[in-house]
Amino acid sequence: MRNAPLKIYIAGHRGMVGSAIKRVLSNQNVEFLIRTHSELDLTNQQKVLNFFETEKPDQVFLTAARVGGIHANNEYPAEFIYQNLMIEANVINAAFQTGVKKLLFTGSSCIYPRLSKQPIKEESLLSGYLELTNEPYAIAKIAGIKLCESYNRQYGISHGIDYRSIMPTNLYGIGDKYDEMNSHVIPALILKFHKAVKSNSSSVTVWGSGEARREFLNVDDLASAVLKIMNLDLNTYKNLSSDQNSHINVGYGSDITIRELAETIADVTNFSGTIEFNKNMPEGTPRKLLDSARINSLGWKPKISLKEGLKSSYENFLKMSK
């Protein structure tokens, strides 16, 4: 029976996903090994290896990433592919080199082809062309999945390693970054509508036609899914997946149009003006709804409704703004 705390390294502990995982684990018998970006640059291979050799974590949650919305992905494709590739390669390889047996990598639903059959099954990976606006980021995330799979295939039996991947749908919640140009759609819209209310603006303009559909999951629900998958016994995990299709989708189960999302956020922020849509601006993949049958078969379901989650997000945003 283990009495010593489990040494856990959360790469990206201050990000939205990493901080949510840390909140869930904080009441368990764990010792967090955490470093800020200024303390440990994950794109620096030698520094990452030195950290692992010194700290020797038992488990790793790889949530660190360069992230952003459509604008950021379009403006900084080189940074998005380079930084994410380096982070994943350095952390996964250092984990293996220093004897870490369990690792969980969090990716993104943008890994799937732009015109995937809906809802998107895990088997759709690499079956078609990616959405161009976030292709570099998506390719980096695909590489992260394949790194985990490749290390498992080559060293799973000989070294007893078990590196897993989950692919969440669009996330929002505590820890979101609020920037109209570089954020994901929910924080960008919350900020936009909030400013409109404060300035008594009569209208708000939203990118795209408003007809693109998206699925949204609260990050606290994702954190519960992460722990569910991480703690799953190996045989059950293998029965859910395959050696070269090992990632697990984590979705909300239904989607809405961007128009409906904007209208809901307008209601949450008490905006009473008109909502206009700029069809000249990009809106990304037409639809992106995940098939979450694999994780649902384990009894996991999201608990936070979108309306409830948006209200909570806006309340948290107001606290942050004070």
| Residue range 153-166, pLDDT digits in tens | 999 999 999 999 99
pLDDT of residue 310: 97
277-291 pLDDT, tens digit per residue, is: 999 988 878 889 999
The residue ranges of the chain whose pLDDT is under 70 are: 1-2, 180-182
The amino acid sitting at 176 is D
CA atoms within 13 A of residue 231's CA, in its CB half-sphere:
10
Q: What is the pTM of this model?
A: 0.93
The residue written with tokens 């293998």 in the block is 238
Positive or negative torsion for Cα 281, 284, 286, 289? negative
Distances in whole angstroms, Cα of residue 257 to Cα of each of 10, 61, 265: 33, 32, 12
Instruction: Please give the pLDDT value at position 148.
Output: 98
Percent helix, strand, coil in the chain (nearest 5)? 45, 15, 40
DSSP lists the bridge partners of residue 102 as 59, 162
Cis peptide before 282 (omega within 30 of 0): no
**Domains in the chain: boundaries:** 6-321
pLDDT of res. 182: 67
The fold for domain 6-321 equals Rossmann fold (3.40.50)
What per-residue confidence (pLDDT) applies to 2? 58
Catalytic annotation, residues: 137
